[in-house]
Amino acid sequence: MKPILILIAGGTASGKTTVVDKLKAHFSDDDISVVAMDNYYKRRDDISLEDRKKINYDHPDAIDMKLLKEHIILLLNNCDVACPIYDFKNHNRSNSTINIKHSRVIIVEGILALYDSDIRELADIEIFVESEPDIRFIRRLKRDISERGRDVDDVISQYLATVKPMYDSYVAPTKRFADIIIPNDTKHDMAIDILATKIENIIK
């Protein structure tokens, strides 16, 4: 049976991972595999760390869409893939990979998960997670400092220079492709439950 492909998009720190985790709680680990678009930033060994810091990582060109599509197609054909791992401290793809097993449900999550038309055509369900800009900024600030080794000024500068304008230009417009829009500022358990039921019905 062909696996189900679910795309989950939304602004930075909108709660995409929370939605993925709540969905996974409805199924066994063998039923769902998750592909994080963040791991598919292009390798940039050709430039220095200082220059890599200046890259606009919220622009579609920063993503290796070709490799991502190849891996999605492999997973949909019941093959495992060696997913790259992105090192956020060094602003470059690491030399390590992680094995992603094929499963009955494949989830691709990332700010630009609904951007590429070829990937959208492969999808069965398209989701956009929405959250207020102020809340997203605060979440990103806390995350980047605690998990990615950034300082406050660096996070604020990047948010104003690229994150916010790229959201307005490339992320927010993809909301029109979504089958389901999940608000992540208030309770959203009902949306998760309905979505999980839909997935279960498709599997059966």
Biggest CA pair distance of the chain? 51
Of residues 21, 35, 37, 117, the one with CA closest to residue 74 = 35
pTM above 0.85, yes or no: yes
**Beta strands 180-183 and 32-36: pairing type?**
unpaired
Digit-coded pLDDT (tens) for 138-187: 777 888 787 777 778 887 877 787 888 999 999 999 999 999 998 876 66
**pLDDT at site 189:** 78
Pick the CATH number of 4-203 from 3.40.47.10, 3.40.50.2020, 3.30.930.10, 3.40.50.300: 3.40.50.300
Q: Could you tell me the residue ranges of all domains in the chain?
A: 4-203
Q: Provide block-wise average pLDDT over 10 residues at a time, the chain (204 residues).
A: 92 85 87 95 93 90 97 97 93 94 95 97 94 78 77 79 89 95 75 87 79
Residue keyed to tokens 């990332």? 110
Phi, psi angle pair for 2, to nearest 5°: -65, 130
